[in-house]
Amino acid sequence: MSSLLLFLIIIPAASTLEFRYHNNREIEQYLLQTNSSNPDISHLYSIGQSVKGQQLWVLALGLSPRSHTVGIPEFKYVGNMHGNEVLGRVLLLQLIDDLLRGYRNNETWALQLLNSTRIHILPTMNPDGFDASDTDCILTTGRYNSNGVDLNRNFPDPFAGLRKKQQLDEEKREAEVRAVIGWLRMETFVLSANLHGGALVASYPYDNSNGGSELMGGASVSPDDDVFVHLAKVYSFNHASMHQGDRCSGRPFLEGITSGYQWYPLIGGMQDYNYVWAQCLELTLEISCCKFPPVKQLPAMWTENRKALLAFIQQVHLGVKGQVFNGSGVPVQNAEVEVKGRRNMCPFRTDKHGEYYRLLLPGNYTFTVRYPGHEDLTETLTIPHGPDQYSAMKYNFRLRQITTMTGHTSVIPTKATLTPTSNQSLNLAGGGATNRPTWSEFGLTLGLVAVLRYQID
């Protein structure tokens, strides 16, 4: 009898998930057992392996957990990017347990979330680092992967790429980073958060700057800054105490949120990569003053974060979603969907389903849709608040094909003929992430605060 089968027999499906630090093997067993017990709403898959060959398991939850459904947004949580920042592992396992229990008990909140959203949960991005970590609240043992690399400094940096274009040797990235980049190509994620420890604050892009017009008042401001501030406040004000400012005897954070760059500049971070190249809005959530909290504090910390974790997922339904159709009524891939006043570094584009998702606060917005061989389409939409209804506003754009002087319509381009306008080429078959982004490393002179904070995020 296989060890997995024996495990499934010994551990009943309704067993209570303990509040403790499960090792990597125990997490794997829990995910396997949970997936086996809930085949209708869960799907377990691996996005790759760590440097030491440990699987990076993701559990997807939803009505169609195995594949994307048009109109259903993709959401993700990532935990334990730094191996010694461990509370995220615990909270994400508890979140899985809570969502499934609520769904099985027909609780309205769980039914609404899982019926409207496909939720992906990666409990540990750095299992090797966890294995090497100790229980110290401050020190860095276990922070890095087994090659001694900080994974949150290893992603291609969009601002470095703007300063000096050179070909990215993606295969030289760390295994865990390559796995996440591949994951972003596989799915069209709309909203995301990665969970860290060592502070109590919700941090949002940008983490870096090119020293250009994005610099305002000490912050590196993105085109979607209003949305990011809203998202950060949703987590902060639904948390038991984050909104009161940093309770960790460090720098105070007004309302418990901060621009990443204003806190300290960071090159090669994951949240900027998600936003710029995968058109996925991501926050970095610092959820505990102590990187490795005592076990006895875990139940209280789950209670402090539970409402915030659920409320943040619900924000995936902000704004507007829909498809772009060509002159023949077929959904088209790689159509540019631009919102006036929001000049994204890489334009938001439709995915392989012809879908677009734009997280926007309620208001009036002017959209311009562009696709080769078709007339540009400009329309103004009035967008309501979607999260309360668990659905963004749905709006499809229908393009008109250009007619030549001879009366013939222009040739509709194939995927191979499309050339994105961004200086980073998009992966047309996936979720909009880059195929071969350009970048180079460049130095930033960090102030004392950056040096002191370097080991936190």
- The backbone region for 249, taken as left when phi is positive above 0, alpha when psi lies in -120 to 50, beta otherwise, is left
Residues with Cβ within 8 Å of residue 331, at least 6 apart in sequence: 323, 324, 325, 350, 353, 354, 355
**Contact assessment for residue 238 and residue 308, using Cβ atoms and an 8 Å cutoff:** yes
SS3 state of residue 17: coil
**Contact assessment for residue 406 and residue 232, using Cβ atoms and an 8 Å cutoff:** no
**Contact assessment for residue 62 and residue 117, using Cβ atoms and an 8 Å cutoff:** yes
Q: End-to-end alpha-carbon separation of the chain, Å?
A: 44
CA 40 to CA 52: how far, in whole Å?
32
Distance of CA 141 to the CA centre of its chain: 26
> Pairing state of beta strands 199-204 and 393-394?
unpaired
Of 318, 321, 314, the closest CA to residue 351 belongs to: 321
Of 290, 263, 164, the closest CA to residue 207 belongs to: 263
**Catalytic residue from among 286, 304, 336, 355:** 286
Which H helix or E strand runs over 109?
A: helix 108-116
CA 252 to CA 263: how far, in whole Å?
11
Residues with Cβ within 8 Å of residue 31, at least 6 apart in sequence: 44, 57, 59, 96, 123
Which H helix or E strand runs over 3?
A: helix 3-10
Distance of CA 165 to the CA centre of its chain: 26
Angle, nearest 10°, between helix axes 298-314 and 225-238?
140
Token output for 360:
């926007």
Active site residue 286: yes
Angle, nearest 10°, between helix axes 298-314 and 87-104?
70
Residue 387, strand partner residues = none
Residue positions annotated with a catalytic role: 286
